[in-house]
A and B are shown apart, each in its own frame.
Chain A
């Protein structure tokens, strides 16, 4: 006999405009009034209806970041809190927190490719790759900290990674040589 067990999973959408939440719950009876409460960093909380036993996608319009009919924008990075509940919501709910890093990850990947496709002195390039690896460790550290409910540490590591990445890109990836992409494409 199955028992009620609520669980949600945040799955990658590979798109920085979408947030994907899958329902991994087991239900005894069909759920009544399933809703999800999503706290978006810097934008507050929205309460939305949730379709059980499937994969739910949310964008900037459904999360109340952009107006209805306006162009969609990338979802902000930061700590998201999700609370999924069914009636009676006072007892039947599950709450999850995760750190979204999609925008930072995309900037990191662009910096990585920019450095990798650059004609540059080998020693400088090697040092720049070490710097880039450090940034990558910070990003992964931030995700791990958020998964362990260490929100302050997650924010600290995320901000550090973001600052280092900005400096890295501003300093032309630590390389003053010819840019392969600019010169040869």
Chain B
């Protein structure tokens, strides 16, 4: 009986532990410049494909033009920062990453 109770409690404890830990486990590589450039390219690819379907099939869907322009600007800035870390030094890669992550889902 004790063993069953112990096993149940252990399972419960593990569940709680995983719930507590899971949101804190983040990929440390996601804010590097190559990862961000990859994210931007991926999103631009999606938006471009949507735009193509919009035109070809006359879907008349709204086009997120602002997001596209912003992503293109951030891609240029990150490309410069990748080669020259002093470029636009008032803004860090982490600050840019937080904007890019939001734009990714816009």
Chain A interface (Cβ within 8 Å of chain B)? 13-16, 106, 109-110, 112-114, 116-117, 126, 129, 133, 181, 185
Q: Is the CB of A14 within 8 A of B87?
A: yes
Instruction: Give the CA-CA distance A48 to B21 in the complex, in Å.
Output: 62
* B window 76-106: CB within 8 A of A: 76-77, 79-80, 82-84, 87-88, 90-91, 95-96, 99
With A109-B77, A113-B95, A116-B70 already in contact, 11 other A-B pairs whose C-beta atoms are closer than 8 Å: A14-B79, A106-B88, A109-B73, A109-B88, A110-B90, A113-B90, A114-B90, A117-B91, A129-B66, A133-B69, A181-B95
How many pairs, one residue from A and one from B, have CB atoms within 8 Å of each other in the complex? 46
Main secondary structure of the interface of A (DSSP, over half): helix
Main secondary structure of the interface of B (DSSP, over half): helix
Q: Is the CB of A15 within 8 A of B83?
A: yes
Task: Determine the chain A residues whose CB is within 8 A of the CB of B80 once the complex forms.
Answer: 14, 106, 109
Task: Determine the chain A residues whose CB is within 8 A of the CB of B90 once the complex forms.
Answer: 110, 113-114, 181
Instruction: Give the CA-CA distance A14 to B75 in the complex, in Å.
Output: 13
Chain B interface (Cβ within 8 Å of chain A)? 66, 69-70, 73, 76-77, 79-80, 82-84, 87-88, 90-91, 95-96, 99
Instruction: Give the CA-CA distance A153 to B91 in the complex, in Å.
Output: 33
Closest chain-B Cβ to A113's Cβ sits at a distance in Å of 5
Contacts A14-B79, A116-B70 hold; do A185 and B95 have CB atoms under 8 A apart?
yes
Q: Is the CB of A112 within 8 A of B66?
A: no
* 27 A-B pairs (CB sep. < 8 Å): A13-B83, A14-B79, A14-B80, A14-B82, A14-B83, A14-B84, A14-B87, A15-B84, A106-B87, A106-B88, A109-B73, A109-B80, A109-B87, A110-B90, A110-B91, A112-B77, A113-B88, A113-B96, A113-B99, A116-B99, A117-B99, A126-B66, A129-B66, A129-B69, A133-B69, A181-B90, A181-B91
Task: Determine the chain A residues whose CB is within 8 A of the CB of B91 once the complex forms.
Answer: 110, 113, 117, 181
Closest chain-B Cβ to A66's Cβ sits at a distance in Å of 18
The 4 A-B pairs at the shortest CB distance, nearest first, are namely A14-B83, A15-B84, A113-B91, A14-B84
